[in-house]
Amino acid sequence: MGLALAIAACGKASSHSVSRPAPGADAGASTSAGHTSTGARNSFQASVTSATGVYSGEGGRAQVLLQIRGSGPRRATKLVFRSLPCQGAPQCVQLDGVLTGVITARPGPVPDAGRSFVIAATGRLTTLGHVRATGIGHGTGFIARGHELLDLTLSGHAGRLGLRALSGSVGGFSSP
């Protein structure tokens, strides 16, 4: 699955952000260099897009808050997951918890295409236990409005979940 992280689909990922703060989230965080960044642009709606192992056939949805600390190309990050209702799906994995790790800027050949980032984190999520998350984040480029994207893979002892997460509408040249 490479670096793609996807959230299994119990429904389609919404293009609107959820305004409720997740447990462990700092809703009033600053976006200045050297401080935590958690604005609406770093709030994502995620859906399970693939599942293997004991999670095969599972779906799920979650709000994911991406909290980034520091400045520079490699920064500390926290991913806060909060499960959302699965809209009648027969099998729905709960994704609540916190992962910590790093987000690293990837060099891009075309600045107008938006920035990309590699994400690596570990932590505990309900149902899955201890997991390792790997994936890619994409910002918007030369466009008036768009959506940031996270593709993540959550790997645990019993299988993997792929997640795809979209932010609410953000301005051009926005990035995690």
Number of domains present in the structure of the chain: 1
Q: Specify if 33 maps to a domain.
A: no
Q: Which helix (H) or strand (E) holds 45?
A: strand 43-51
Domain extent for 106: 40-171
User: Tokens standing for 106?
Assistant: 């990837």
Quick one: pLDDT band at residue 107, thresholds 50, 70, 90? confident
Residue 107 carries which side chain, given as an amino acid letter?
Answer: P
Q: Specify if 28 maps to a domain.
A: no
Q: Specify if 81 maps to a domain.
A: yes
**pLDDT tens sequence across 55-70:** 999 999 999 999 999 9
Domain containing residue 140: CATH number: 2.40.160
User: Tokens standing for 29?
Assistant: 């965080």
**pLDDT tens sequence across 7-38:** 323 333 333 223 333 344 443 333 333 334 44
What size, in residues, is the chain? 176
Q: Specify if 153 maps to a domain.
A: yes
Q: Specify if 152 maps to a domain.
A: yes
User: Tokens standing for 96?
Assistant: 């609540």
Tell whether pTM > 0.95.
Answer: no
Q: Specify if 141 maps to a domain.
A: yes
**Which candidate, 137, 146, 152, places its Cα nearest to that of 106?**
137
